[in-house]
Structure 1
Amino acid sequence: MSRRRLGIGLFFVVTALVAGALAWLAWDRYQGFAHGPLSGIDEGETLVVERGDSFLRVLEKLREAGVTDGHRTEWQLLARRLDAGGRLQVGEYELEPGMSASELLVKMREGRVIRHRFTIVEGWNIRELRAALAQASPLLQETPGMDDAALMAALDRTGTHPEGRFLPETYLYTRGDSDLDLLARAADALDATLQEAWDNRADGLPLETPEEALILASIIEKETGLASERERIAGVFSRRLQRGMRLQTDPTVIYGMGSRFDGNIRRRDLQADTPYNTYTRDGLPPTPIAMPGAAAIRAATRPADGDELYFVAIGDGSGAHVFSRTYSEHQSAVREYVRRYRQRFGQGARGE
């Protein structure tokens, strides 16, 4: 073989080796990019994919978030391999320290967006609920300019009083959802829970409609210090209604006082007549007085059996009550409550 031919052969061999080495290095770099941890991600960093964002716009947002790994071509090749390029779903995504480019693209392809939580607390009234919604982020705010009537109209519930109409529980939502969206879900959940409880109600209830059950449930919610006492308290109220006795429950009086309530309820407040004063008026108040939870709604429709007609707080800070069958027993329990209260706080107190 001539030197010329040998030189040409060596050139091609070397060229092939170099090309192979470069290809291997490129592949190794690509694999490191695709499966290695992305750099520049801080704890709590997020990426928002908005409607209309192109794949290249998403890459720009990643750069803005501090992710510098990978060239545009590498991202495009990886997206094509993962069938993700044209399938990134709208939403907010958590950029987790240590995640790879492949994990991020699969997350966006499958729409595994961040889900935020908002909890409606049992016993909240509508003012407390709306105040908490106004502080929820990133929930879109559509309702701050609406009064209660406009709010209910926006929920297709024109003429419905808003109190007690939203089921207390924790709701998940995503960026882009609004306070109105969340309230609509909570209202539907309340309707379903109330209807189920009403369909399974006990025989002989002194209640004519699901609405009355909701009103009673709201009172039970506000009177309950311990979950174990719900059905028992419901039983007391049910028997009082059956016998034509007034409910005489402080939370209804407080609700009727509205902004005038300063944390104390006085004897003159019990004597001041309002539509919600169950010391001066028979039967149930005209609307719920709070947001009752599912357990309180079930208790209102399936109260405990018994013959107790009164209850008063023990006064030891436990939230428990003393239940009595007769008024004389109740008065004795009230005196004991006052004694404990004065021992703890050194003040006067009034029994329920």
Structure 2
Amino acid sequence: MGRRGRPPGMPEPGSEQPFDDAALPPDTPAVPPTPPLPTVPPTPSAPEPATSEPVAPAPSAPTPEPVRQTPARQDPPTVQQPVVPPTPPAPEPTFEDIFGTPTPDAPEPDLPRHEPPTSRPAEPVASVQPDDALGIEAIADAVGASTSQTPWATATSAAATEAPRERAPKATTTRPAKSAKPKRQRSGKRGGIVIIVALVAILAAVFGGGWLAFGPAIMDRFSEPEDFSGAGSGEVVVRIESGWTGAQVATMLEEEGVIADQEAFYALLVADPSIGFQPGSYRLALEMSSQAALDALQDEASRVVLQVTIPEGFVIQQVYARLAEQTGIPEADIVQAASDPSVYGVTGSSLEGWLFPATYTFDGSESPQQILQTMVDRMRQAMTERGVPEDQWQTVVTFASLVEREGGPVANFPQVARVFQNRLDIGMLMQSDATVHYGIGDFGVITTTDEERGDAGNPYNTYVHAGLPIGPIGAPGDAAIDAVLAPAEGDWLYFVTIDPSTGETVFSNTLAEHNQAVLLFQAWLRENPEYGS
């Protein structure tokens, strides 16, 4: 193909060369010479003038193209193109960038075409690249001459048109190969595409990973909270602690499976700030709607109320059995929880006497330790309220348990307390059947045998061992404690209940009076053998 911007066979602008008459054969008629064209003085950096003979471009780089000269406009000749640095990539120069814009009103002169003499030896032609050879042949075909006879050459000065033609050195250029620029352009485009693709991949990874990590949370945040419908099914006991906020209640309900989403429940609390909760345990259903759960927590019927009643005088084994029966806690768990009295601040060998007899209300969520601690704390409260020094608590509890087990009717407690106190004051044995029964673990009878009363191996046997028993023998109540702290006034040293069914008791100052009262009791036993031994 020809050079860009010029049809094949068309001579380059400004490259016309004056015709050389000396080169014609003798028989060729003379042609008047064409007036010389005005020339442009060369610039200091212009290359040397080219000869009248055509110069083949060097294989490594093409010969710079000259600037077309016209009578109407003087353009400076083309200078040697500077070497373009590798970076940054520049666009490929156009025809106008190299040769300038042609003047439309100055047509090129039509010069005659002459054939060179046949006897002229052929000049050696430098080897050309296939693309250049094709371009030269195309031009030769257009003008009707071979590539070795093309008369066009570069004109760079006026001397080149007037002086005899002398062969000049072939001009060379350092113009970079054309293929280098497209490669740089392709590299730049390819690099830009790679950067764009990389950025897209990074953004996709960042936003894609972010969505995977936070997308569900974002959707949950802006979506309606989940909620069950209806009153639910099944049963679960939940506990609200004192001081809990509405948010804590909502969280607990979701964790227990009562509601589906704490946010739905909390939204109801926000809508009505007057709603409050009472601490305690509540019996609810599973998978309730938030509204149904809220209504149940406001309903006293949903509260779990376990009332446990421990009668006065119960020994510890009876207390454990009653707790297990009324709370549903296995008795073994309760016994295990009471194995170390020091955990509850008790100095004795067991919790006997320290589990205060009363009616307790539990909500079903308490552990065995919590229940036992509640009962011990109630006994400590009784001691504190009465001003009993702490170092005397164990003694008072033991003494009161003796009165509780022996006293019968509460009305008799102050007198019974006085009898035992009078005996202690004179060093007399207590001689309590209740202590003997406790030592042998027999709590269903009220009498003792001579053998049982004489058993020194029973540490609780007050017929043998002086003073109070080694520890409490039951759970004393408020009345027994008050009787010990404030016994009745009297000199009694003996007492006997002659009618256990009514609690009738006879108090005596002497042994003879006491023996008469014992006969009355024995008569009652004969009438009621189920109470005897």
- So what's the TM-score if we normalise by structure 2? 0.46
1:176 to 350, 361, 365: 365
Distance in 2 (alpha carbons) for counterparts of 1:181 and 1:213: 25
Quick one: structure 1 residues 146 and 343, their matched pair in 2 at CA, closer, same or farther if it must change by over 3 Å?
closer
Aligned-pair CA distance for 1:40: 7.9
- Contact kept, 8 Å, 1:314 with 1:321, in 2: the verdict is yes
In structure 1, the gaps of 5 or more residues are 1-38, 61-72, 96-100, 201-207
Distance in 1 (alpha carbons) for counterparts of 2:316 and 2:469: 16
Aligned-pair CA distance for 1:336: 1.8
Distance in 1 (alpha carbons) for counterparts of 2:527 and 2:331: 48
**1:248-302, Cα deviation, whole Å (9 max, x unpaired):** 110001111126x774621110111122111112111111111111110111110
Quick one: structure 1 residues 141 and 310, their matched pair in 2 at CA, closer, same or farther if it must change by over 3 Å?
closer
Structure of greater Rg: 2
Aligned-pair CA distance for 1:47: 5.7
1:58 to 250, 254, 258: 258
Quick one: structure 1 residues 338 and 184, their matched pair in 2 at CA, closer, same or farther if it must change by over 3 Å?
same
Identity level (%): 30
Distance in 2 (alpha carbons) for counterparts of 1:93 and 1:107: 8
**1:50-79, Cα deviation, whole Å (9 max, x unpaired):** 66323994357xxxxxxxxxxxx9x88765
1:269 to 427, 452, 458: 452
**1:208-259, Cα deviation, whole Å (9 max, x unpaired):** 9332221110010001221111111111111111121111110001111126
Q: Is 1:299 equivalent to 2:483 in the alignment?
A: yes
Cα RMSD, aligned residues only = 4.0
For CA contacts below 8 A with separation 6 or more, give which structure has more relative contact order.
Answer: 1
Task: Give secondary structure in 1 for the equivalent of 2:491.
Answer: coil
- Contact kept, 8 Å, 1:217 with 1:297, in 2: the verdict is yes
1:330 to 493, 508, 514: 514
Q: Is 1:280 equivalent to 2:464 in the alignment?
A: yes
Aligned-pair CA distance for 1:346: 9.4
Runs of 4+ in 1 over 6 A off after TM superposition: 39-42, 87-90, 101-104
- Contact kept, 8 Å, 1:142 with 1:178, in 2: the verdict is no
Distance in 1 (alpha carbons) for counterparts of 2:344 and 2:478: 21
Partner of 1:197: 386
- Pairwise mapping of residues 66-215 of structure 1 onto structure 2 (< 5 A)? 80-83=270-273, 92-93=281-282, 105=294, 108=297, 113-137=303-327, 143-144=333-334, 146=336, 148=338, 150-157=339-346, 160-199=349-388, 209-215=392-398
Aligned-pair CA distance for 1:115: 2.5
- Contact kept, 8 Å, 1:91 with 1:174, in 2: the verdict is yes
Distance in 1 (alpha carbons) for counterparts of 2:341 and 2:462: 27
- So what's the TM-score if we normalise by structure 1? 0.67
Distance in 2 (alpha carbons) for counterparts of 1:275 and 1:300: 22
Give the paired residue count.
Answer: 285
- Contact kept, 8 Å, 1:91 with 1:175, in 2: the verdict is no
In structure 2, the gaps of 5 or more residues are 1-229, 240-250, 285-289
